[in-house]
Each structure stands twice: as structure tokens, then as C-alpha cells.
Amino acid sequence: MTEVVIIVSPSFDHRGKRRHDRFDARVKDTDEVICRATRQPVLDGSRVLIDKGYSPSTAIRMAYAHATAVITGWAIIGEAAQYDVMGEKFVRRKTTAGSMPSAPIKIDGSARPREPFSKMAAARARHNDPARFTGRAADHLAADSSGGLRHRQRAKMKMPT
């Protein structure tokens, strides 16, 4: 079984500021950057190495840039490529499907733009219009000039007819 060692170093943004919990991963012998700004360098690095043609049975070993002789983690590339980290757990990576065929966008009368806010506010105001009520509710509103609150109080009580 062969092995590939990746060297992990902290990632920095375009202004030179350290990106918290993000790392750049390089292959030790070639200094080729395989992942930039990743939180899971072994897992993402194993997927990149498989895409580059490495065997899935190859071991991937990780070391930090300040202590390249100390191996801090390792995995089999084929196994590591199947997982992601979600919170504190390893979860199996979902297979990515190809791009979905796009459907043409068809706009008909049902997809009209929404009414402006002022018209919507006017429609809500018409909702409380006493002329809209019929029967007993209209009698309660007509007998009371203050409107809604007393109407709601009377509606809760059972009034004799």
C-alpha cells in the first residue's frame, strides 16, 4: 500500500488575515496545492487526489506545516472520499447528480406582479368596513359607533335574538 502525505497550513484571505478554522493542503513531495481554505483537508484532499488519478487504496496522511515529521491523521483515500464532517459527526457524502435540465420559464396571467403596498393597505382597510357586514353583525356595528372592539366583545357573548 502506498501513501501520500499532505502538509496542512493555516489559510489566509486576500488581505493577509488568518481565516479561522480553514486550512490549505499541499502534497508534501511536489508542494502542489490540492485544497484551499478547507475545514476538512483529509476528506477534501482525498477527493481531489482520486480525481487526479491516485488509487483509492492509497493511504493519505496529514501533517502540519510547523511539524512535518509528525503525522497527525491518516485515512484510506477511497474511504475518506465518501465522507463529510457535519458538526461533530462524519456523514456519508451524497452523490452529486448531473445538472438538471432547465425548463423554459413561462409567464401567464396567474404570475402577475404583486400589488403595490398602498393598494394592499387599502384592501385591509375595506375589510373592516361596516357596509360589508350583513345580518346580526351589521346590527351590532350600526348600534355602536366605535367599531371593531365592541363588535368583537358582543360577538363573543350570546345575545338574545
The per-residue pLDDT for range 68-86, each reduced to its tens digit, is 889 999 999 999 999 998 8
**Grid cell at residue 159:** 345575545
Cβ(7)–Cβ(63) below 8 Å: yes
Q: Compute the distance between CA of residue 137 and CA of residue 154 in angstroms, rounded to an integer.
A: 9
pLDDT tens track for 22-55: 999 999 888 889 999 999 999 999 999 999 999 9
CA 99 from centre of chain: 19
Question: What is the pLDDT at residue 36?
Answer: 92
Pairing of the two strands 59-64 and 67-76: antiparallel
Torsions phi, psi for 132 (to 5 deg): -80, -25
**Grid cell at residue 133:** 357586514
pLDDT tens track for 6-27: 999 999 988 999 998 899 999 9
**Grid cell at residue 87:** 458538526
pTM of the model: 0.56
